[in-house]
Amino acid sequence: MFTQTKNSWLLYNQNRHCILCGLHACATTNLCQACLDDLPWITHACQRCAIPLNSHSSSLAICPQCQQRPPLFDQVIAPFEYRFPIDQLIQLAKFNGQTHYLNPLADLLRLRLQTAPRPELIIPVPLHQKRLQQRQYNQAALLAKRLARSLSIPFSHQLLIKAINTPHQADLDRKTRRKNLRNSFHCINPPPASVAVIDDVMTTGTTAAEISRVLKQAGCQQVYIWVIARTAKELHLS
């Protein structure tokens, strides 16, 4: 009994330490206030695609690219730019099996969703079955489950599947990415009117656009993209 109580106490206190600096974390995020303040929060962004903008462009509600070619998704929400230390946490969770970092990341995303529209269903960006067998887990699904539970929104990993095992997107340009993903996702059941799609990072938006196209062709009316981080352009819009 003493050993069990001691282990429980150690686990409780360990979980309260900041995952970045080792200091005591606040109760809801496992990060101390100093580290929270230092995170690469996006403060100015396009209200459609969430591309980070500099402070001089804060009056722009929609970035020029979204004005010229409105995306198929309705809104992207991303609390962070994809840079240190968020990029390191995501990579550790995604490729190194350290999935315990996903819970605090999901909790930080939830803070940004407080005023967001509530969809009828939350789904993850799916992995092809071969990729899932290699990695043993889908980090987007783990994030989505955490968010769905904390927001009391239904979750499904069976609405959308990755039917084609496409090459990795990382080394492809925007045009090749679109061609690479075309018709690789299938909606296997009728979707509800509104869906939030969860992923760790949004780069060019190609995956989000293709999934939105498939969901809307199947009858979905609003598609929201919720991600932990958004990559910024080399030069922010001005």
pTM, full prediction: 0.86
pLDDT 10s digits, 66-122: 999 999 999 999 999 999 999 999 999 999 999 999 999 999 999 999 999 999 999
Crossing angle for the helix pair 206-217 and 174-181, to the nearest 10 degrees:
40
Length of the chain in terms of residues written: 238
Q: Which domains does the chain have, with CATH numbers?
A: 1-38 (no CATH), 40-230 (3.40.50)
Residue 60's pLDDT band (cuts 50, 70, 90)? low
